[in-house]
Amino acid sequence: MNDIAWEEPFCGEGASCFRLGTDPQGNAYIAVAGAEDSYLTDSREALRSLILGIKAGEADHLL
């Protein structure tokens, strides 16, 4: 079993809340709050790239 350290949920108005987490082996996780057993996982570097891309506006077209 993974020892995932989940961050506090990120929530939008009237939307689902998402949680980000990491483990000691260098993996990163994204899940819907309350459904942390069903997560998407990749490396911490992939999570870093995703966050930086979002901050740079690369996902603005999805809004």
DSSP structure string for 8-52? PPEE-TTS-EEEEEE-TTSEEEEEETT-TTS-EEEEHHHHHHHHH
Q: What is the mean pLDDT of the chain?
A: 92
More confident call, 16 vs 59: 59
Give the pLDDT of residue 63.
83
Give the pLDDT of residue 1.
54
- pLDDT tens-place string over residues 29-57: 999 999 999 999 999 999 999 999 999 99
Which pTM value belongs to this model? 0.80
Distance, CA of 33 to CA of 58 (rounded, Å): 24
Percent of the chain clearing pLDDT 70 (strictly above): 97
Question: Which residues partner with 19 through β-bridges?
Answer: 31
